Structure 1
Amino acid sequence: MTASFYPLLATVAAYLLGSLSFAVIVSRAMGLNDPRTYGSKNPGATNVLRSGSKAAAIVTLLFDALKGWLPVVLVRWFGRPYGMEEGTVALVGLAAFLGHLWPVFFRFEGGKGVATALGVLLGISGWLGLATLLTWIIIAFFFRYSSLASLAAALFAPLYYVLFGGVAWYTDARIGVAIAVMSALLAWRHRENIQRLVKGTESRLGAKKSQPKAGAPRA
């Protein structure tokens, strides 16, 4: 029982941490409109940026990434004596990501998970996270679409993990599956963005946004 208790406890804790919607929390703390009431209505850093507060967007981005990174590295650093190894790393990383997508504290209405997924990847391997982040930056710089950059990063992350496994980092099939699941869910959460990209109506980075609409927050 003990052998399965600690991995289960870590997985539940990771999900609860992932369920903290920092876009909403930071916006409330800084006196901004609820990000679920304007723009894309997505509780994420990109939509918080549409409030006009770069500081709030940066803080949101960092905390969303942190909640993906922290459970993974805690298991990596301290989990072995409690029977938590690579399988638990895969579980807690995926759990934190799922918490962001479907947060129990916010009526299961979460964001798209880009920053949290990046945090998980950084926890698995700093080089893997940096390679994925660099992919996002390159696509965003040349095409000016955050959604397209996120989709490209989601596509390449599992490929990087497999192609450079054994060279830049140690690979484990369970972690590979977790990364592939996150990538697939990221693409699915961006399905509306894909439709707008095809139609040519997707908003570009740096484009002027409409002001947030007044309305009661969906708490």
Structure 2
Amino acid sequence: MAAEILKIYEQDPDPKKIDQIVRCLKDGGIIIYPTDTVYAMGCDIYQNRAIEKLSALKGLKVKKNNFSIVCSDLSNIADYARVSNKAFKVMKKAFPGPFTFILPATGKLPKLFQSNRKNIGIRVPDHAVPKAIVEALGNPIITTSVKDDVDNLLEYPNEIDIIIAQNENDADLIIDGGWSGIVPSTVIDASDDDFEIIRQGLGIFEDL
């Protein structure tokens, strides 16, 4: 069954549409959603079957997935990751924004999502749609970038028509948030206080 397409404007996300997305997530659905960098694919971190499906779509074993999670702000990050004082100060400047911080995971992550991981990636995008989704859901969602595995003109497609055409049979719901960027988040290993840039993306770490 092809994915349902839902158009949402970043400036003023419709609460009824956000509720519809939350119902999809709670039912174990896979969604594609806009962020402040590129479009992402994800699911509710407490829906095991959805995590299994998402892992399969990405060609990953469930216990070896490297998915990050999207939080709405810094307030509940300590539930899922251990954050040093130094890391917190840097993240406070970085979030919301185009960064992913790799931090030591806590035992509060759902059992399946924990797998054998020691670390977890944390994102707080500067985009109203994922923020509204996470707030309404009440817990983080998984984030993994949507890539163009067909034409490869752009590694990260920014046209919603292309995203729909390539992913409509994989996702349950695709949020049409218009054009996106083509550069992913900057990934920073903050598992200790010697920060290391793992992937240079849109965010400029030196500015922090």
Task: Answer 1 or 2: higher relative contact order, Cα 8 Å, separation at least 6.
Answer: 2
Is the structural similarity TM-score above 0.5? no
TM-score using structure 2 length: 0.30
Higher helix share: 1
Structure with bigger gyration radius: 1
Q: Which has the higher strand share?
A: 2
TM-score normalized with structure 1 length: 0.29
